Chains A and B, each alone.
Chain A
Amino acid sequence: MGAGLDLFAAASAEGAWTVGEVTRRARAVVEAGLPPLWVRGEVSGLKRWQSGHWYFTLRDRTAQLRCVMFAKDNRRLPTAPADGMQVFAFGRPTVWEDKGEFRLTVVELLSTEAGGLWQVAFEKAKAALARDGLLDPARKRPLPAYAQRIAVITSPDGAALRDIVAVVARRWPLAELLVVPTRVQGEGAVAELCAAFKLLGRLRGLDVCIVGRGGGSKEDLWAFNSELVARAVAAASVPVISAIGHETDVTLCDLVADFRAATPSAAAAAATPDQAEVLDDVAHLGNRLGRGLASRVDLAAQRLEQSLDQLSGAVALRLERHRHQLATASGRLDALSPLRILERGYSLARDARGQVLRRVAQFPAGLAFRLRVWDGEVSASVPES
């Protein structure tokens, strides 16, 4: 009975707690009794606020736990967890006095899916790029064979840049390297990388671009898995050679790039020809040049000879024709020759002066004349009458 009285006695301005007192006390009890801890559960009802804070509920079959993850903590995560995703959340249980709510203030969140949230974000961005055709092998551009201006997007003091410079200097010293210094990890890296790729379009006479950084953790390489950076690579004005991290880490940047190299050195080798080989090729062309001219001269000489042959052939033919004409003419001449007539028994009378005597009147009595017969001449005379 007394207890009942006491109970009611406390229901007074002096005996009762204020709402503020009890929630403050509840918060102190919760924070003292529950240290920061890992909680396992399924994400539901995630909302992103303008401020960047995430509000969501973790639940299992029997209970629910309201959670908040502030922007300063969730900024490190590649993506927000999807509803229904199983996660581990590390946070501090507390009571929000103004709302009278029991909350978990989450500072770290891991997905239990293979590869975690990083993988989730990667797949999401990759799917978006694939939808836009940016992963299509057909859109990969060929690399220039004899690059003269090569842009290098990388950290200005990284090993990647030193390797690239060394390889290019050895293989193809003709090239000029234009280094576009950027942060390659951490705050601002994504924006700087995007700006660097955009800048390429304004570099005169640029042939190709290498983007590189050495190995690192998945988080270190994250800027190269940014969908924004991948899109900037795809939009670059020249072919892009990507060499990010180790060979086993394939980033979105690698997938979109026109050529993926295993290391920055390999990227530099892909961007340049080997000068020794080029010199060989040039020497080979020199040989062909010489042989080409020689065969041209030979051909000309051959043609000259041919022409000469043709010419002398024509001359011989003409001579032959003339010879033939001569023979015919001399045959005819022969037939007409008076000797042939004498042969048949005729004779020719000529006086002392050689005049042919044709008529009787030319033979006065006593005339001495000469008679030409076939095989010679005899003297003759007309008898005195």
Chain B
Amino acid sequence: MAKALTFAQQLERLEAIVRRLESPDLDLDEALKLFEEGVEGLRAMRERLSSAEAKVKQVLSAENLDE
């Protein structure tokens, strides 16, 4: 299973979709698919922003470290 995308990656993907959608050589089928993916991305990003609450953790040597 792929790791969850970071916000920056989500934004990057959405920008790529929009750019692709704005380029003239694209057939309608692909455009529709991209649009659906873009709308889904938008929804996910909005949700992520609205539900977020800053977390504060103390790092004492052992926690949060890579294994």
A-side residues, CB < 8 A to B, are 144-146, 148, 151, 156, 165, 168-169, 172-181, 199, 202-204, 275, 278-279, 281-282, 285-286, 288-289, 292-293, 295-297, 299-300
Contact = CB atoms under 8 A, between A and B. Distances in A.
A289 B17 CA distance: 8
A144 B7 CA distance: 11
Contacts of A168: 54
Contacts of A144: 8
21 contacts: A145-B8, A146-B6, A148-B6, A169-B53, A173-B53, A176-B56, A177-B56, A178-B64, A199-B61, A203-B64, A203-B66, A278-B49, A281-B11, A285-B38, A288-B22, A289-B14, A289-B35, A292-B18, A293-B32, A293-B35, A297-B31
Given A203-B59, A203-B65, A292 B21 contact: yes
Contacts of A282: 11, 14, 42, 45-46, 49
Contact of A179 (B17, B45, B56): B56
Given A202-B65, A289-B21, A292-B22, A165 B6 contact: no
Contacts of A199: 59, 61
B1 interface: no
B27 to A, nearest CB: 8
A67 to B, nearest CB: 43
Given A176-B56, A203-B65, 15 more contacts: A165-B56, A173-B49, A173-B53, A175-B54, A177-B57, A178-B57, A178-B58, A178-B59, A199-B61, A282-B42, A292-B21, A293-B31, A293-B32, A296-B28, A297-B28
Contact of A289 (B11, B42, B53, B61): B42
Nearest to B3: A205
Given A151-B59, A279-B49, A289 B54 contact: no
Nearest to A206: B64
Contacts of B14: 282, 285, 289
Contact of A174 (B31, B38, B48, B64): B48
Q: On chain B, which size bracket covers the interface?
A: 35 or more
A156 B58 CA distance: 9
Contacts of A281: 11
Nearest to B65: A202
B66 A275 contact: no
Contacts of A165: 54, 56
Most B CB within 10 A of own CB, among A145, A180, A282: A282
Contacts of B66: 202-204
B26 A288 contact: no
Interface string B23-67: 010101001100100110010011011001111111111001110
A275 B49 contact: yes
Contacts of A275: 49
A174 B7 contact: yes
A78 B5 CA distance: 47
Contacts of A180: 59
Contact of A181 (B55, B58, B65): B58
B42 A286 contact: yes
B5 to A, nearest CB: 11
Contacts of A151: 59
Given A286-B42, A289-B21, A289-B42, A173 B52 contact: yes
Contacts of A296: 21, 26, 28, 31
B59 A179 contact: yes
A279 B46 contact: yes
A204 B8 contact: no
A169 B49 contact: no
B59 to A, nearest CB: 5
B42 to A, nearest CB: 5
A199 to B, nearest CB: 7
Q: What 9 pairs between A and B have smallest CB-CB spacing? A: A292-B21, A169-B54, A296-B31, A173-B52, A146-B8, A174-B52, A293-B35, A289-B38, A173-B54
